[in-house]
């Protein structure tokens, strides 16, 4: 990656995501700052969304940027909400997704993440992917974390949700 990598801009409006990425990259001496540009959201899979948004943002800022696009893929719902997770969370929330899951025995789900690093000056683009398999809980946990964290567990439907893990615990198992 670029020699200028002591500082990187994260394209997100989500302050919780910013804290998580700072926690992950901080030990490597990388200072993460919020990018003051709007994230371009094309329709498509999370890899495409991440790549297009990173290239555009880096071109606007002329700085290295990182874009993380993530999605929750629920097995019994044919992968819904997937790349539409932000929108689904905004419209349905955790209670709405749990309502869709009522009576379902198969509660398997996967959080997927696509991260793209782009530096318009060096024309460098790097893409990374991560995922964590888990379950949609029967009931939500504490309202910590963000998004679907209170209803997603890596330990089964009755396991501890992401929202009840410390930042360090979540970083060890998370899709990021």
Active site residues: 69
Alpha carbon distance 174, 168 (integer Å):
10
Give the residue carrying structure tokens 């999370």.
46
Give the residue carrying structure tokens 């964590």.
132
Alpha carbon distance 129, 26 (integer Å):
19
Give the residue carrying structure tokens 């990425």.
21
Provide CB contacts within 8 A for 70, sequence distance 6+. 46, 85, 111, 112, 113, 114, 175, 176
List the one residue out of 15, 26, 37, 30 whose CA is nearest residue 120: 37
Provide CB contacts within 8 A for 172, sequence distance 6+. none
List the one residue out of 65, 70, 59, 68 whose CA is nearest residue 117: 65
């Amino acid at each position: 990656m670029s020699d200028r990598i002591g500082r990187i801009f994260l394209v997100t409006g989500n302050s919780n995501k910013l804290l998580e990425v700072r926690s992950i990259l901080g030990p490597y001496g990388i200072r993460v700052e919020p990018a003051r540009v709007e994230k371009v959201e094309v329709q498509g899979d999370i890899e495409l969304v991440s790549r297009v948004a990173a290239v555009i943002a880096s071109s606007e800022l002329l700085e290295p940027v990182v874009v993380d696009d993530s999605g929750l893929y629920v097995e019994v719902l044919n992968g819904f909400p997937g790349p539409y997770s932000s929108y689904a969370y905004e419209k349905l929330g955790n209670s709405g997704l749990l309502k869709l899951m009522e009576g379902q025995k198969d509660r398997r789900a996967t959080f997927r993440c696509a991260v793209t690093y782009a530096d318009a000056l060096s024309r460098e683009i790097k893409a990374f992917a991560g995922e964590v398999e888990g379950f949609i809980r029967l009931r939500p946990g504490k309202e910590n974390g963000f998004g679907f964290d209170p209803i997603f567990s890596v330990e089964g439907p009755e396991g501890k949700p992401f929202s009840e893990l410390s930042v360090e615990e979540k970083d060890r198992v998370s899709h990021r």
